[in-house]
Amino acid sequence: MQQLVSRFCGKQSGSDVGPDGLDVLLSTGADARDDCAVYDIGSPVTLVVGSDYIRGPKFILHELGLLSDYDIGYYLAVANISDIAAMGATPIGLLSVIRYPHEMDDAAFRHVMAGIHQACADLGTLNVGGDIGNAERLILSGTALGVCRPGKVLKRSGASPGDVLCVTGPCGLLGAAVAYFPKRDTFPRTLPAETEQKLLDSWKKPRARVAEGRVLAQKPYATACQDTSDGLKATIEQLMRASGVGFRVNERDVPVDPAVREVAELMKVDPLALTMSASSDFQLAFTVAADDVPACRAEFTASGLDFTVIGEATANGEAVLANDHGIRPLPGVAWKHQKSDISLLASSTEDS
């Protein structure tokens, strides 16, 4: 255990982790081997904390041997840090809970830890330890910590009619992967190797949109914001309910990844439905006042980032998809926790 702490959590105590001049010091890190991490906060700062349990049926690709223990460790960190990013905060640390069965050997455990550690490093934060122990199966959970300046936190509840609805990139890749691979041998043909690799890579190296969240919070530009980890349709509906508005989404403006389109063609479903269905993507969906869009886009461009305007908030309290032929309910299936097979959700085009 001492070797694991040294390898993955060493030399943390005394780290200055505050962004933008905020005075945040990790005075006691995992290397100190105390019961808790200690942050000394010496300037006005808002602490943002989010927790997510991620082990479950969505990891059917792990059961199929397509994702490694390292991959699911990496995913654990990103899933938690994405929630911090969606609030406009900068992550300052991740706590994790790793419960594992007796048959899991030390090498597999180290791979999970290595994935967590690398994701934290890639996202510029610290893996500050947590809890480990035995269980009947592998169970992973995490808690991410983030900070931002007071009054800069992004919420789901601030959209107003007339605000434009935006997304930082295409959705549906992770859902398309779990819709495709478990049923790969039942399709009349398989996808090209490069397409299959792109689908798997969406799970192996997901990206939390930390930089995008900070840009949206600093001015602030976003009137409401949420990550798309439940799928784009679910996210739009959650923003709608929290803000008390409706949304009119323009069908032609929703970005559809070519790999998602290929999976949809194989499955004989609407590519837009697969794009918007349950999928553990970590894009940000957000609203911006129409007059602020040019300045917001300029800030994104200056940071090497981008977003797509896909619709606008309305006053009617409904989420609809609009095209040249009229309007219809948003296609696809939103994530439901009582469902056991995410591939069934992602492959269905019926509303639920």
How does residue 311 score in pLDDT terms, banded at 50, 70 and 90? very high
Which residue would you say has higher pLDDT here, 75 or 33? 75
Do 8 and 119 belong to one domain? yes
Tokens 């349990």, located at residue: 53
Last residue of a domain, one of 148, 181, 202: 148
CATH number for the domain that contains residue 319: 3.90.650.10
Do 180 and 314 belong to one domain? yes
Do 215 and 118 belong to one domain? no
Domain that holds residue 67: 2-148
Do 174 and 132 belong to one domain? no
Do 191 and 90 belong to one domain? no
CA–CA distance, 13 with 107 (Å, rounded to integer):
27
* pLDDT of res. 282: 96
pLDDT surpassing 80 at residue 335? no
pTM: 0.89
CB-count burial class (<10 Å; 0-12, 13-18, 19+) for 83: buried
Beta strand extents in the chain (DSSP E only): 15-16, 24-28, 38-41, 46-53, 90-100, 127-134, 139-148, 164-167, 222-227, 246-250, 284-288, 308-314, 319-323, 326-329
Asked whether 39 and 25 are in contact (CB, 8 A), the reply is yes
Distances (CA, A) of 87 to 47, 52, 142, 205, 226: 11, 15, 17, 21, 7
pLDDT tens profile 149-185:
888 999 999 999 999 999 999 999 999 999 999 999 9
Whether 155 is covered by a domain: the verdict is: no
- Which residues lie below 8 Å from residue 163, measured CB to CB, with a gap of 6+? 223, 224, 245, 287, 288, 289, 290, 312, 313
Which residue would you say has higher pLDDT here, 348 or 91? 91
How many structural domains are present in the chain?
Answer: 2
pLDDT surpassing 90 at residue 43? no
Do 132 and 214 belong to one domain? no
Whether 120 is covered by a domain: the verdict is: yes
- Average of pLDDT values for 3-25? 74
* pLDDT of res. 320: 97
Whether 352 is covered by a domain: the verdict is: no
Q: Best-predicted range by mean pLDDT among 145-154, 300-309, 327-336? A: 300-309
Whether 52 is covered by a domain: the verdict is: yes
Asked whether 305 and 168 are in contact (CB, 8 A), the reply is yes
* pLDDT of res. 5: 61
Do 169 and 129 belong to one domain? no
Whether 156 is covered by a domain: the verdict is: no
Do 122 and 176 belong to one domain? no
pLDDT tens profile 15-40:
777 777 788 888 888 788 777 778 88
- Average of pLDDT values for 42-50? 89
Asked whether the bond before 220 is cis by omega within 30 degrees of 0, the reply is yes
CA–CA distance, 122 with 116 (Å, rounded to integer):
10
Do 97 and 224 belong to one domain? no
Last residue of a domain, one of 148, 179, 214: 148
